Amino acid sequence: MNSTPEATPDREPGREAVTHEGVTASGSGGRTPAVVRLLVLATFVVILNETIMINAIPRLMTDLSITEQAAQWVSTAFMLTMAAVIPVTGWFLQRVTTRRAYATAMGVFLAGTALATVAPVFEVLLFARIVQAAGTAVMMPLLMTTLMTVVPERDRGRVMGTVTMAISVAPALGPAVSGLILQAGSWRLLFAAVLPIAALVTWRGLARLENVGEPQLSAIDWFSVAAAAAGFGSLVYGLSRYGAGGAAMPTVIVATGLALIAVFAVRQLRLQRRDVPLLDLRVLRHATYALSLLLMSLGFLAMMGAMILLPIYLQNLRGLSPLETGLLMMPGGLAMGLLGPTIGRLYDRFGGRMLVIPGSVGIVVALAGFTQISKTMPYWQVLGMHTLLMVALATMFTPVFTLGLGALPAHLYSHGSSMLGTLQQVAAALGTALVVTVMARRADSRIAGGVEETLAQLDGMRLAFVVAAGLAVVMIAVAVLLPKRAAGTGHPEGADAPDRSLEPVS
């Protein structure tokens, strides 16, 4: 079943599109299909750039003579563009071939990276980051959609474990990688180092990548494009402004974003009657997918909240350098990546519940441990709790992604992965806004009561971790509702089957 009335082949000269059945057969021997390995590598490279500029802000302020608020935009603009572009990728990926989508995404990313390397002024750098993000926004939905198409259900956990490295570990390693590179010189090296790697990955990918599935011709509703971009962009921007001053203006921006998203949703419901939505909201009818979406959002909120608070704690209150901070947080990110394939194999063997529930408990325990931070807490304890948090997130992310997308019919894979990507950006912005606002409000209150500034900030951080831990408790309750495995609606023949993903599993 297709989401558009007619499907039209769009093969590139000299290449045949790889059918779902053909690739599944080739991928059933226990090896990850080559197309997925290539896309994982490319996705890791582009997503790494989302957080790679965090440690470069002081250098930007000095070299480009800008304020801290302006420098923050190199990260904020990247996140905003991702949130605005990702909702369009579901339509885009259905309309073009795998190779064309890959070439477009990596070509745009390379152009943005090259421009950022030589940017003479801040405005050019900001534009380059927006271009980078537009290419990055296509890669994760392309990877997830291709994986769900070519990998048989019995192997998806193992392969998804590898994918976890790209979508979760890359942003976690961004600050550490940037800290190492910045020791060698200018912030421009951050882009100069990525450029040849991305170019090599692009060249190898185009040389070996084959088309998966058949593209479909469909019209695009430009009103939906504008509403999605303005709505999700405003929501992420408004959330990112909390903690930077007054709350009135961010609240207005967030409310505007939510109103535009509501308009967008109503528009999609109307377009669904003609099977031409920009982002198909019927993915939310599948209960397992909806629960997975909630779990993923809470998980990213917890991860991004910790990523924001820990550098502030380690650098501002403990006096560590950006490099030392990055090295202290690197083991957790590496553990998440190295455990991904193992977690995936465990999922294939035992299902999701035995991983997601302990993973959610581990997240709560780690965040609860961070509520006890002090000026004298041993660094090994900080390292241990951060590593536990990353390992617990890895234990949760792989089964949640696999269960959620596996509960969807095949024609909704691209829309399901697009919505997952969009909610990641919203959750990241919400997590950042939440912990920073809670920390700042608590610290200001304590300072007004006569408490010394450092102790007040520590108290604010503890309260922020308490709030994050409280939200993580919700994850445990949601995790209990997940089934052991998806009910198999992800196969094409199950596209019209009712969603039984929450029925008891024997």
pLDDT in tens, 174-208: 777 777 787 777 888 889 988 999 999 899 888 87
Contact 394, 343 (CB under 8 A): yes
* pLDDT top residue among 489 and 160: 160
Q: How open is the CA angle 189-191-197, to the nearest 5 degrees?
A: 105
Q: Count CA atoms closer than 13 A to 282's CA, side-chain side.
A: 23
Residue 196's CB is within 10 A of a number of other CB atoms, namely 10
List the domain boundaries for the chain. Answer: 21-494
Residue 149 has pLDDT above 90, yes or no: no
Mean pLDDT of the chain: 79
Average pLDDT of the residues in 79-94: 80
Using pLDDT thresholds of 50, 70 and 90, give the confidence band for residue 217.
low
For residues 230 and 163, which has the higher predicted lDDT (pLDDT)?
230
- pLDDT digit string (tens) for 415-474? 888 888 788 778 877 777 788 888 888 888 888 888 888 888 899 899 989 988 888 899
378 CB burial (10 A radius; 0-12, 13-18, 19+):
exposed
Beta-bridge partners for 212:
18
Please report the pLDDT score of residue 449 as a whole number.
Answer: 84
Model confidence at 131, in pLDDT bands (50, 70, 90)? very high
Which of 14-28, 113-127, 397-411 has the lowest average pLDDT? 14-28
Cα torsion at 196, 197, 200, 206 (round to 10°)?
Answer: -120
Q: How confident is the model at residue 83 (pLDDT cuts 50, 70, 90)?
A: confident
Q: What percent of the chain has pLDDT over 70?
A: 86
Tokens coding 129 = 């980051």
Say yes or no to pLDDT of 110 above 90: yes
CATH class of 21-494: mainly alpha
Q: How far apart are CA 54 and CA 111, in angstroms?
A: 21
The pLDDT tens digits for 306-319 are 877 888 888 888 88
At residue 18, the 3 state secondary structure works out as strand
Residues facing 18 on adjacent strands:
212
The span from the CA of 498 to the CA of 489, in Å, is: 8
- E strands present in 455-504: none
Residues in CB range of 15: below 8 A, 6 or more apart: 99, 210, 211
Q: Residue 120 pLDDT more than 60?
A: yes
Most confident of 54-63, 153-162, 455-464: 455-464
pLDDT digits (tens, 9 = 90+) for 253-303: 889 989 999 999 999 888 888 777 878 888 888 888 999 889 988 888 887
What's this model's pTM, rounded to 2 decimal places? 0.73
